[in-house]
Structure 1
Amino acid sequence: MFQQSFPIWGSVTVTCRTFLIDFTGGGDEEILRFLETNKFYEKPDSRVLMVGRKRKARSAIKNRTFRNNINTLYLGLQEGAIDRLISESRTSTVGERRISQDAHEFQAGVETREERGFEDRVSIYSGCPYCDDGQIKVLMQGSWSIGSKIPSKDISPIINEVKNLHGYLMRIISIAFTPYADYIQNKDGPGGIVTLLDSLDKRLIEIFAPVMNFSFVVKSPPDMSFGSRLPDGSWTGVHGAIYRKEADFTTSVGPSSQRLEIVEYERTVPVDQLIIVSLKPQPLPQYLVFLRPFTVGVWVCIVLAIMIWGTTFWLLQRVRSNFTGEEPITFNSAIFYSWTVILEDPPITTPDDISGQMLLCWWLIACFLLMSGFKSSLVAHLAIVAQSEPINTYRDLVTQSNWKWGIEDTLLTGMVIQYFSQNVDPDVRYIYKLNEKSSPAEGLKRVLEGRFSFLISKNRITTIIAQIYKKEVGETQFYLGKKGYTVASAMGWGVRRGAPFRPYLHKLISRLIASGIMDYLVEDVVHLKILQSKAEARRHQQQQQIMEAKQDDLLTAESEDGNPQVLRMVHMMGVFLVLVCGLTIASIIFCVERFIQRNSRHNEKRCSD
């Protein structure tokens, strides 16, 4: 009779759908099976008008096929009226004659069927969602005679949204995802009832519960996961509970193309950006502080300038000696002459010729400017400890030498995987290729060990750091990257498809977002958790230990009383290393010279013999 795959929904642009279902001719089970196959229960806003026998009104309205519909009317006819209508409709001429006779009798005010004792009254029934302990309650709206006008005052108006759930026990499935959802697992363990802790979702549920008049119970999934689709089409985790209709909605989860096939999302969480967590920039080694005033390029240019000036000076003096007959300066002496000038200790004697004096004059000016810049920069580097460059962007991360990174394991699902694996930026794909999946606690531990960064959402990591390292007073050793990356469009509650309460829930959530209250709630939850962690840290009396550790830090640029810092061995170690290297090189050259002289004397002695 029915094609099970027949598209009953028509164009997607149609916003109002009304179904007229005739149960008077039988075939009830086949009709209901057809509607169930086409997922009629996923369209709660569809309007249903059923016509059938009065005794079947209750069972029809409460049928599972219409469990989510909020506008359901049933016209119940008496048995005799249905039998007579069926018999009269067999012949069109008879039916037309009776209808014409009925209209004539009504207009003329003569005696109607009801006055003649026929059972021609129609009873009107409607369904009230959640009115019967969370189930549909069948309400009697009234009745009227077939030959009279329909009493519109007895029929309830069309319902656009369900606002009152009449104390319905809302089944919520949740997985901890601080600061959006947090709870304590009860004795039942995974899959059992949990007690919500202060979080965004807890506050939202407590706001909506009295407004929509529902109670709630929160459970965790048995496998403690957000859920993914299995090869057989079933689902795991919180989405599996929604798929099996074991829960009405979830706490904050992320959408994906597959998940959207089984749930409808209500955005509750503002966009939370992905950031890079690393150790705070560390002080650079102080034994190289005397090299930091200039970059490597500048140092190379200075060495080349010394060599070029010394060579030029030697050539000019060599040419001059050809004309004057004086003994020319040696090349080594010319190079050492340029060194002594830049070290602000020039020889007492100066060139006699004007060309040599001009060359020396400009070299003195250049050396003065170089040494002025070197001294001022060296003082600054000694007063303020230089630190390594912070890691803020993907480019900063991939350019680090001998560096590793990880991404939070709960993020590597759905749209986040698509963001990394299909991104046009090669740095993003490279990060995903070499990432080491870690839990937040494990990732932060590896960050503290050094040469490791962790990618996680900003609000989440701020709360987690406050909770895990709650015994630390003041700032932690973690550096949160300044650059944020939008990975997912939003997070929100996953509502089971066809839930009658979803339109009103959507309206309430939209009001909170539009008014800015949602952003305030997120910031307040994060701020409160940080304050609680700091209060607990003070109870553990850790402030004194941290202050002592800071006082023992040799790399502090300036003491608290403002006195300048005395240079220690850690600052001057580089100078002594240069001295040691110089002595070592000089000793090697001395040994080479002695070896050459010894061989030379030995050869001369053999030749003389």
Structure 2
Amino acid sequence: MTAAAASLLLVLTVCLTVAQLPRPQGAGETLSVAGAAVAAVAATVWRPRCSVILLTDGTTSSTTVFTVTLLHYNTALHTGRVSRCVQVAAEGKSPNMTEALLSRLVAQARRVRQVSWCVTVVVVSDDSAFLAASAEWIFKGRLLVWTNRLLALTRRPLSHLRHLHTSFSMMNAMLLLLDDTSGYPRCSVYVHLPYSSQVLQVASWAPHLGLSLTTNIPLFPEKFDRFLQRPLLKVTAEEFPPHVEVRETANTSGPRFRFSGAMTRVLELLALSLNFTYTIIRPPDGSFGTKLSNGTATGMVGMVGRKEIDLGLGPFGITAVRAEIVDYTAPIVNDYLRILGGRGKPEVDPWGFLLPLAPAVWAVMLASLVLLLTTVLLLSFCFSVRVPMLSMYFRVLLQENTWVSSDRWWERMVLGGWMIVMLVLTLSYSGNLMSLLAVRYIPQPFQFLRDLLEDPSTTMIWEYNTAYVNHFRTSESGIFQEVQKAEAAGRISFVLATEYPTMQDQLVREGPYVFVGEDLTIKVLMGQDFSNTGQCDFYTSREAFMPFLYCMIGPKNSPLVPAVSKRITWITEAGLYDYWMESLNRNSTVCVRPPTKITVRTSLSLSNIWGMFVVFAGGNSLGLVVLCLELLTARL
């Protein structure tokens, strides 16, 4: 037998002094009487390279432990599997040491689980308090993942074990009840259904009959793959367009709020697939929630973390702080932040008379003029004539009349070529200028987060208690630390998702406010405003920053989360979520990239063309200065 082919059977025995429960006359140890039943149930789920952890309360003798271990060993050997047995004993003398001892042994058992393909934990005790403590520490210590199993053996009647229902229903656990009051041992196998108080008997065992199923439900059923009974789950959700939209209804007898959006369709599909009904509960503070400095959590995250809620709809951005409180499902969508600002009023650029020609054309024109004057001077020097009149080239550039001597044929040719170039250029300039005077420019100043931080007159609006807010509040460097300082300076205000329409209409539209929010949410807000007004009054920044993955959430270690994650993966891989988002949000892309220039037909005002008068005044001022210099030079 090689070490690789060997499986591991680990026996952890907790030897504690516990109150001895009354037993029937002549009754033996629980594990001794029902050891064959335990072996029969364990054999149905035994796999190669698996481990079995036996946990007792100290009332089971070492002889019985060895006998049952040998029985299980023979069962594994009969099925072609080989086990090796390791026994770890821990002794205590006081019931108060049970918690500490269990925590220590669970930690040891977890290390065994990490090197095993699967684990079956067997707890044997007639003490209901010990059974409850064992289940609590097995769950708290994360000894069991869903692929591992828990089997509890006891003589206590089912009516005395109701306090075990909560923990056993959330684990892959079964309860084996021994009844030997009549002198003939019989065992009943029960499974606790999650999110209900129902306990089902799925099998029975007797020495001469062996193990037999009493229903069509298998041992250790996949309770969370599809619920056997249709439970009612509590789901928390809040306004988060376009994922969740909340509308108040006028129906006094029915639900007060109506929920819609792509996430509600996900919830409906999950309810159909997992076989559950649901009721949606909104958080008291209307926020998604985060962890406070005192250790408590707010909003929907706090409700799920305290297990007041079975599932958080969200979707919620993944953060390390929230991951300490809740478990995330598979990602549903990824999103990032943009800046939403109000578009300014259409304006004419006062320097628009420079725009008909590109900067390169202006530069080439001036360079050509310099080259032309240089050429004329060189030709004059070569022909040994008087210095030519250079002013006529400037007069042609400014469309003024000029003349040239009839005996200077080369100068006529140079001037004629320059006049043709200037004719084409000036006609092109005047035509473009007429078109540009009808153009209105719409200012969109905040295209980057840096632009926003450098404008102290503008106030940023963020949603209250989101993953983004938690991120910049905990940043220790970079641009988001500057956002944190902006909050300290009073440049950030917070709103709830239900206040988006009011915020958009009363604050962002006219300024000096801008909204920093999710890209998908901003598209919906702009689309809704376009549907109401018929025009695009807002713009979004070119820069996208702070990307996040969004998921649903569940309580810590909840087996419901993996079941939901599997179905969310199906939904996203099939493209259903993107399809629902596009079908539910009309006009969401109409105003995504609105034009920054528009053409109008109206008269021009002085405020539109004051740039030309600046040039006029500057030219006259410069001419006056030159005149003064000429007079001064002549006088000297």
Above 0.5 in TM-score? Answer: yes
2:260 maps to 198
2:403 aligned partner = 348
Name the SS for the 1:339 alignment partner: helix
1:366 & 1:66 partners in 2: Cα distance? Answer: 92
CA contact under 8 A between 2:343 and 2:509: conserved in structure 1? no
Give aligned pairs, total.
Answer: 510
- State the 1:340 CA deviation: 0.9
For 1:62, the aligned partner's letter is L
Task: Tell me, yes or no, if structure 1 residue 173 matches structure 2 residue 233.
Answer: no
Deviation at 1:239, TM superposition (A): 1.4
Tell me what 1:36 maps to. 136
> For residue 67 of structure 2, what is the aligned residue in structure 1?
none
Equivalent residue, structure 1, for 2:462: 408
- In 1, Cα distance between equivalents of 2:138 and 2:403: 104
Question: Are the aligned partners of 2:329 and 2:562 in contact in 1 as well (CA < 8 Å)?
Answer: no
Q: TM-score, normalised by structure 2?
A: 0.66
- Note the C-alpha offset of 1:76: 1.3
Structure 1 partner of 2:300 = 238
Is the 8 Å Cα contact of residues 274 and 456 (structure 1) preserved in structure 2? yes
Instruction: Name the residue aligned to 1:65.
Output: 167
Is the Cα–Cα contact under 8 Å of residues 129 and 136 in structure 1 kept in the other structure?
yes
> Relative to structure 2, which stretch is displaced further, 463-472 or 494-503?
463-472
Ranges in structure 1 where 5+ consecutive residues have no aligned partner = 80-117, 188-192, 532-554, 560-564, 604-609
**Cα 1:207–1:346 shift into 2, 3 Å:** same
Tell me the distance in 2 between the aligned counterparts of 1:397 and 1:420: 22
1:449 alignment partner, SS class:
coil
Higher helix share: 1
Pick from 104, 110, 133 the counterpart of residue 9 of structure 1. 110
- Equivalent position to 1:338, from 353, 369, 393: 393
Which residue matches 1:261?
324
In the aligned structure 2, how far is the partner of 1:136 from the partner of 1:9?
A: 30
Cα distance in 2 between the residues matched to 1:529 and 1:342: 51
Q: Which residue of 2 aligns with 1:120?
A: 184
Contact kept in structure 1, 2:531 and 2:587, CA below 8 Å: no
User: Are 2:339 and 2:540, in contact at CA under 8 Å, matched by a contact in 1?
Assistant: yes
Distance 1:40 1:576 in 2: 79
Give the 5 Å matches for 1:470-481. 471-472=532-533, 474-481=534-541
Task: Choose the corresponding residue for 2:548, options 471, 488, 492.
Answer: 488
d(CA) in 1 for partners of 2:482, 2:610? 40
Q: What does 1:22-101 align with in structure 2 at a 5 Å threshold?
A: 22-24=124-126, 26=127, 28-40=128-140, 43=144, 45=146, 46-55=148-157, 59=161, 62-78=164-180
Find the aligned partners of 2:151 and 2:414 in 1 and give their Cα distance: 107
What RMSD, in angstroms, separates the aligned Cα atoms of the two structures? 4.6
Residues 1:194 and 1:221: Cα distance change in structure 2 (over 3 Å):
farther
Provide Cα deviations, 1:352-380, integer angstroms capped at 9, x if missing partner. Answer: 44664565455445534543543454354
Matching of residues 510-525 of structure 1 within 5 Å: 510-525=569-584
**In structure 2, what residue type is equivalent to 1:557?**
T
C-alpha deviation, 1:260, in angstroms = 1.7
- Does residue 229 of the first structure (1) align with residue 291 of the second (2)? yes
Residue pairs, 1:524-563, within 5 angstroms: 524-527=583-586, 557=599
**Bigger strand fraction:** 2
Q: Which runs of 5+ in 2 are unaligned?
A: 1-91, 93-100, 591-596
Give the TM-score normalised by the residue count of structure 1. 0.68
The alpha carbon displacement at 1:15 in A equals: 6.0
Q: Which amino acid aligns with 2:285?
A: D
Instruction: Spell out, residue by residue over 1:29-57, the C-alpha distance to the aligned partner (whole angstroms, 9 max, x if none).
Output: 24532442353596573422222214257
> Is 1:461 the equivalent of 2:522?
yes
Q: Which amino acid is the alignment partner of residue 462 of structure 2?
A: E
Aligned to 1:493, what secondary structure does the other structure show? strand
Task: Determine the C-alpha separation between the residues in 2 that align with 1:373 and 1:403.
Answer: 42
8 Å contact from structure 1 (residues 125, 138) kept in 2: no
* 2:441 counterpart residue number: 387
CA deviation string 1:49-96 (max 9, x = no partner) = 2222142575068344324124313131325xxxxxxxxxxxxxxxxx
Q: Is the 8 A contact 1:224 1:237 kept in 2?
A: yes
1:579 is displaced (CA, Å) by 4.3
Helix, strand or coil for the counterpart of 2:157?
helix
Whichever residue aligns with residue 232 of structure 2, its letter is: L
CA contact (8 A) 2:155 2:179 kept: yes
Aligned mates of 2:548, 2:542 — CA distance in 1: 18
| Distance across 2 between alignment mates of 1:278 and 1:398 | 11
Match of 1:21 in 2: 123
Change (3 A) 1:454 1:138: closer
Match of 1:108 in 2: none
Identity across the alignment (%): 19
Q: CA deviation at 1:217?
A: 2.9
- Shift in alpha-carbon separation, 1:320–1:452, aligned structure 2, 3 A: farther
**Equivalent position of 1:550 in the other structure:** none
